[in-house]
């Protein structure tokens, strides 16, 4: 009888999903093995990694994050991005996760670079999914590092949008970021649930972060699983320019995939992940 109870308890511990809370994020833990920290892209929750976690949690311990202001996680005050980074460093230190693999999509990838450049002796490897160290340089012509203020006409416009207008804007942007029609609905739903101030001011935080010169501090290998849509040559030039200061980087391009590579080329994506994680 005692043996049976022990087995039931052990199995429960092995497969129970544990949830941890921190002011600027929530974490769900699944699986057993070497730790992998999964950071979602802007406006998304940890749900974006569901299929990924189903696969890699067979052999890895997955820490799936959702950041403040997204999903059901309560919003925090500005500066949003810096607070998340600081809280993550504290969480990683307290939970002895310094030898983790970082897996980040979009702004989650930028966050991975920020953590690794600030803590060069931490982490085992970094896997980025269509992520850049300086998003503003891609979006703003002739970007010169000028800090974008929180209070600007574009921010005011987005903050005063009606719910219908906000959702329409998200629907349009998602159409460019993901070719998978079914997953477009999921992404738009996650974005529409966002706290509006977080969506506006957090995005400005991302634009104001330029890590290109900091990449020289990163000591661990970095693999980028990059979109090739709509023009692989242009995308390739962007990555070469933005990552020229990174000592160890390997860029793999997913054919016919937009920004959400894990949704547009799921089989290719999982195959690459399994190879890298081994």
| pLDDT confidence band for 140 (50 / 70 / 90) | confident
Mean pLDDT, the chain, as a whole number?
91
The confidence score (pLDDT) of residue 250 equals 96
Residue 184 has pLDDT above 90, yes or no: yes
What average pLDDT score do residues 217-238 get?
94
How high is the pLDDT of residue 5?
Answer: 35
The mean-pLDDT minimum among 7-11, 48-52, 103-107, 211-215 falls in 7-11
37-83 pLDDT, tens digit per residue, is 999 999 999 999 999 999 999 999 999 999 999 999 999 999 999 99
The CB density around residue 259, as the number of other CB atoms within 10 Å, is 22
Instruction: Report pLDDT for 22.
Output: 64
Give the pLDDT band of residue 144 (cuts 50, 70, 90): confident
> 36: which 2 tokens?
């992998």
Euclidean distance between CA atoms 230 and 20, whole angstroms: 39
- For residue 4 the two structure tokens come to 């049976």
The pLDDT value recorded for residue 32 is 96
Bridge partners of residue 223, in order along the sequence: 127, 250
How much is the pLDDT for 145?
85
pLDDT at 20: 52
Taking domain 2-277, whether its CATH number is 3.20.20.140 is answered by no
DSSP 205-263: HHHT---GGGGGG--S-EEEEEE--S-HHHHHHHHHHHTTT-SSEEEEEETT--S-HHH
């Amino acid at each position: 009888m005692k043996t049976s109870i022990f087995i039931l308890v052990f199995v429960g511990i092995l497969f129970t999903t544990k949830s941890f809370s921190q002011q600027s994020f929530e974490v769900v833990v699944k699986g057993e093995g070497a730790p992998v920290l999964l950071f979602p892209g802007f406006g998304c929750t940890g749900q974006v990694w569901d299929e990924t976690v189903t696969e890699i949690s067979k052999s890895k311990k997955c820490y799936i994050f959702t950041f403040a202001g997204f999903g059901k996680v309560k919003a925090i005050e500005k500066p949003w991005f810096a607070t998340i980074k600081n809280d993550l460093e504290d969480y990683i230190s307290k939970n002895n996760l310094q030898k983790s693999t970082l897996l980040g999509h979009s702004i989650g990838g930028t966050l991975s670079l920020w953590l690794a450049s600030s803590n060069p002796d931490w982490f085992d490897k970094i896997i980025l999914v269509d992520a850049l160290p300086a998003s503003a340089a891609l979006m703003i012509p002739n970007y010169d590092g000028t800090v974008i203020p929180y209070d600007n006409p574009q921010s005011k416009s987005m903050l005063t949008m009606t719910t219908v207008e906000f959702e329409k804007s998200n629907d349009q942007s998602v159409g460019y970021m993901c070719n998978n029609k079914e997953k477009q609905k999921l992404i738009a739903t996650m974005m529409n649930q966002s706290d509006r101030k977080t969506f506006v001011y957090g995005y400005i935080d991302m634009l104001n972060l330029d890590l290109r010169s900091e990449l020289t501090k990163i000591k661990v290998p970095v693999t980028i699983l990059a979109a090739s849509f709509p023009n692989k040559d242009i995308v390739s030039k962007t990555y070469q320019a933005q990552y020229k200061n990174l000592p160890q980087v390997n860029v793999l391009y997913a054919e016919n995939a937009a920004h959400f590579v894990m949704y547009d080329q799921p089989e290719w994506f999982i195959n690459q992940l399994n190879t890298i994680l081994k």
